[in-house]
A and B are shown apart, each in its own frame.
Chain A
């Protein structure tokens, strides 16, 4: 890796030198840009909220940092990222991971209608359901591909991509080879009607060492469960966005050939092919936006090998159709996409009444409803809201509404309600003592402008449930002093508490309080806070992970240059 870095920077220096020599003719010395992100955590043990990871017992602090540099010169594009992880719980919350080094580098060049990239790159085909190489630092995910990619753009309406490489794993790569090709083409029939067509093919090959392990495992299954695993898996998808006036219809079909996939319910691998159907219909007009989505997944797990699980080795990215909530208690229960099979339906309405009074006060109503069930149990009876609790195959359901209203220039408010059914055993791999969660959350927010540069924001939520850890109430008061400062205090209290894995008695009130401040100067933001965070599932898109409770000080720095 050091050799690669050396080579990369030698090239940079040489190119800079050559450019400098030509400086009298052209003063193109390229352009440097980048960003830096740093998170420091100091752990304060609090058995009452169930802090129990190694950082509370031994390391007591952790640091994650990323420095990203980009240099552009004469059509060349150089990217390099240096990653630092000290006692980090990021990749695995029960581990203290320490290592630093070059996390990503690449060189790319535009040559006529081609763009060529070598090194690590991020990319995706369509929605990413057959291939997505992405990074999500909050979830400790980095699925960059180390290899080569060519993008050919023969016309402004057509693009063809092809790549081959290995998936990044921490500071190494996984041994399985991945390759793929994708074409997208736009057809504009007239001003009202156009099509955006796409198709992809992806192949992954398992190396012999990994296959040896798979064979060893299969040989220990009961005879009836043994099968011949495949070295190669092939995926293909076709997709299209049809836009007609105010309507937009997206459809995608993905197919995957037979391969060994791990079934955690059976605790063994199976030979299965898979498919995904996905469609989304949206309509937008003055004062009204509607979006409806449906997705069906059948055994569509694609990882670098069936020996990887959870968030490891993901090649295919299956997006979630359920609402991505931001408020602390509303985001407490999330539907992790079930790659072995699920049916999901989601509908969203955004209404901005056009009556004179409501329009003047920017009144907005958001309504969202979604349901996720097992793949073979999506019938009217089972999704009936009245018998959901009796349905043994239920996964997730959410009904949501909020109404916001701006009373005057200084004061605006929002009120809402969320109803959730959540299969905690399934999504968090909990034992049978964890019942299905039914949670009703009432929430609201007001913002009051004290002066032209100062505003006060108050938010509150009450989550009512008799399952999981019991009910919670959460409140935050935030003072914003533009353009530099922001301060907040908040507390989340576990009321009607159900005791699980903590030392607090059931009579104790458990507080998850936090104090937070931030300072922003141009493109730099420094934050610091004392935080107590409840154990739960943290999701971005359809990818989630179970995060342990946190108690301690968190200091972050983020800057762009």
Chain B
């Protein structure tokens, strides 16, 4: 009997040890936002100037999480478009089509057996999905972030489109701690047919203790394709501000220096379009925004944003 008990107990120990090994060998998905691409900056410098510039008004970035099979998303795009029109050069939009997870039901392109209603484009990107996860994640569309801010009485950074207008105006009435400039027409331009050069100048007008990051997104306008809109599917819907690629990591590139008034960062980035990135060069734009890091009470908050055409 004793021997039987010993054998049993050794078996239980073996089962536990094996279970641990099995669990440890389970594969899990890599976390979103990891970046293994080399830095795209080809030049960067930082210094402190005594001529502290006048603070720019805080512009607004609306990150509109959307999908081509989301029937209410055109309504949210309408809200964003109206805000842009009423506040020229103060409000900018990035339309994000999350490329993985539950939401792919709403974001995957139309594909029918006879190919008679197939989408021409697939707007989905992993970067959009990663940014959505970072900002809290959701199972519903449309939803959006206004300067990635967690507003009072809101449970999440991601808020529904009826609230975008009020929250955007709240932001527009403040001044920014950092100015963004890009040296006029020589700021953002095509070096050659496939290389975009971006010269960014960031000048801090106030001190900030939160770590700071810069993010640059390539967006595309004027894409005509299918879109579910209410109860109908529109064949010739115009898709604008579509996120094509993040030039920087989705978590941003950190600005590594003391962030005091007068601190200036000058950075040049080169982005070479790959053969598969057959986007309409004329309709591409860049959105440059400075934001907080991924931790702290004010994590993610966008401090300033600007949009540039590529010359």
Which of A's residues lie within 8 Å of B, judged by CB?
A: 157-158, 181, 183, 185, 187, 189, 197, 199-201, 203, 208, 211-220, 223, 226, 228-232, 234-236, 238, 257, 307
Contacts and interface: CB of A to CB of B under 8 A. Distances in A.
B41 interface: no
Contacts of A181: 16
B5 A183 contact: no
A219 B133 contact: no
Nearest to A205: B28
22 contacts: A157-B5, A185-B12, A187-B6, A200-B16, A201-B20, A211-B31, A212-B33, A213-B294, A215-B31, A215-B34, A216-B33, A216-B213, A216-B251, A216-B252, A216-B294, A216-B295, A218-B34, A226-B35, A234-B24, A236-B17, A238-B13, A257-B24
A212 B249 CA distance: 13
Given A197-B13, A212-B134, A219 B38 contact: no
Main secondary structure of the interface of A (DSSP, over half): mixed
A307 B293 CA distance: 14
B295 A213 contact: yes
Interface in B66-117: none
A183 B23 contact: no
Contacts of B295: 212-213, 216, 307
Nearest to B28: A231
Given A183-B16, A215-B34, A226-B35, 19 more contacts: A181-B16, A187-B6, A197-B13, A199-B16, A199-B17, A201-B23, A212-B32, A212-B133, A213-B295, A215-B251, A215-B294, A216-B213, A216-B252, A216-B295, A219-B35, A223-B39, A226-B34, A228-B34, A231-B31
Interface in B269-311: 293-295, 299
A259 to B, nearest CB: 11
A197 B251 CA distance: 48
A136 B164 CA distance: 49
Contacts of A223: 36, 38-39
Given A208-B137, A215-B251, A231-B28, A236 B35 contact: no
A199 B39 CA distance: 47
A185 B31 contact: no
Contacts of A201: 16, 19-20, 23
A536 to B, nearest CB: 32
Interface in B248-272: 249, 251-252, 254, 256
A61 B4 CA distance: 64
Contacts of A183: 12-13, 16
A216 B12 contact: no
A373 B66 CA distance: 58
Contacts of A238: 13, 17
B30 interface: yes
A30 to B, nearest CB: 37
